Amino acid sequence: MDNIKLLQYCASHPENFLDHNYMFVEKDARLDSYKKKTVEIKELLTAIKRIRTKKRARSVEEQIFGELQRKLKKYANYSEFGCFINACDSNINENINDLNLLKKITYLYLEKRDLCDITPSEWIQALIDKGSSRKKGQAGENKLIKILVKNNFIKVKTIEDFNKNNKCVAKFSRSGDFSNKNIKANFKISIGKNTQGKKLDIIIKNKKDIYFLEAKHLNTGGGEQSKQVLELIEIIKEKPLASYHLVAFLDGIHSNNILKFEGKIIRKQMKTKEEIQYVDIKKNLIKNKNNYWVNTAGLNKLFS
């Protein structure tokens, strides 16, 4: 498939604002466990607060701190106290392993925060929702696999299965058959040589053609997002063997900010990062005909 025509197709089929692959709208299945643990931690903090002013309570306080350490081992990360530990530039594991540190942070918590008698599940769910961005990396890989399986590609886990199937897909891995080391040994291509061993996301086989794909999901612009776009551009700069293809997949609304320059007159004095990036993308695709830059619609078209 002509990579410039595919780029134009992507520009005319932009990303949607809501992608259910990256949405986590159901209540967390462990919400009751998180709430129960939060209540238990509050009870221990209340006990510490009460006995601090009492004489000869040191041994009792030590027992309570020991119990507090045990309570922090599971389901404590979304409690108010667990979040306060993070605000103190620390983490729960450090406090589990260091009693003196836990005491210092506990006394600081009792000084700076109020102990509330109620613990609405909605508070805890809100904290879980706020951390949902950490799930997006795995969600992106799952989306890729889902699209390919829908287009009759078989998901495989070993090089042996990859070699014997005409249409298949596999995830890169830190170790095992699809590690960078084994990819180099089996396909004579170096992945991650300029990125401190960073792996790509998936490898796809379509008859005699092999596709090495890296994916990013970006909804906004900015410094960190610009860095990730540049990482994708670095991929399509490489010139692979004749039957190999390097694919940069950028989905999310920020993809539209870059592809909107397709078909427009590019100014000599380009003013935005997105404009510069689009010119760079197109220049490298023209130079490397085997490589592709796609969004969701383009990925579907490439492998349909």
- Phi, then psi, of 285 in degrees rounded to 5: -70, -40
Whether the CB-CB separation of 3 and 291 falls below 8 Å is answered with yes
Distance CA 28, CA 129 (A): 9
Q: How do the pLDDT tens digits run along the chain, 304 residues long?
A: 899 999 999 999 999 888 888 888 899 999 999 999 999 999 999 999 988 877 667 889 999 999 999 999 999 999 999 999 999 999 999 999 999 999 999 999 999 999 988 889 999 999 998 887 777 767 888 899 999 999 999 999 999 999 999 999 999 988 889 998 888 888 888 765 554 446 689 999 999 999 999 999 998 766 678 889 999 999 999 888 888 999 999 999 999 999 999 887 766 666 788 989 999 999 999 999 999 999 999 999 999 8
Q: What is the pLDDT of residue 242?
A: 84
Quote the tokens at residue 233. Answer: 């551009």
Strand, helix or coil for residue 39: helix
Q: What is the pLDDT of residue 221?
A: 63
Strand, helix or coil for residue 223: helix
Edge-to-edge strand list for the sheet holding 167-171? 154-155, 167-171, 202-206, 209-217, 244-251, 292-294
Give the CA distances from residue 40 to residues 27, 34, 43, 68, 120, in Å, rounded to whole numbers and listed in that order: 21, 10, 5, 9, 14
